[in-house]
Amino acid sequence: MTAATGDSLRRVGELMRDRNVGSVVVCESGRPVGVITDRDLALAVVADEVDAADVAGSHASRPLVTGQVEMDIEEAVALMVQHRIRRLPVTDGEELVGIVTIDDLAVRAGDLHQAQQITAEVAKAALPEFYFHQRGG
């Protein structure tokens, strides 16, 4: 699912709702340049009172971390852990061909234990304060 940098945040939210997805890759002249998640929208529009008519390009997470079509599962997981992301747009050259989530990779692993490990690694990297918070005392 993609949106142009000039599309409004409202349009991005409508795409997410209509397509039942949690993120949209933002493209400039057909080239992927950023991503907006449902959480990004909630924080920007609701919590920070950003106008829903604002353009998506100025609220997209950048730089965009992408994987390549020929990557294996381990490389994709390592990239997601390194960059603390749960969604990885996949490109063939500069062309966006899809997006893979940590859940997709966990299922593809085909091993329940390995799937749990993959999900835990990315979750810990993405939410370090949740897993490694200071205990009082």
Name the pTM for this structure: 0.78
Contact 57, 35 (CB under 8 A): no
Q: What is the DSSP letter of 90?
A: E
CATH code for the domain in which residue 1 is found: 3.10.580.10
Residues 135, 73 share a domain: yes
Residues 53, 37 share a domain: yes
Q: What's phi and psi for 99, nearest 5 deg?
A: -145, 135
Using the 3D structure, point to which of 26, 45, 64 is the last residue of a domain. Answer: 64
Residues 136, 74 share a domain: yes
Per-residue pLDDT tens digits of the chain, which is 137 residues long:
999 999 999 999 999 999 999 999 999 988 999 999 998 998 888 888 889 999 999 999 989 999 999 999 889 888 988 888 889 999 998 899 999 988 787 777 776 676 677 777 777 766 655 555 444 44
- For residue 102, give the amino acid letter: I
Which structural domain range is residue 114 located in?
65-137
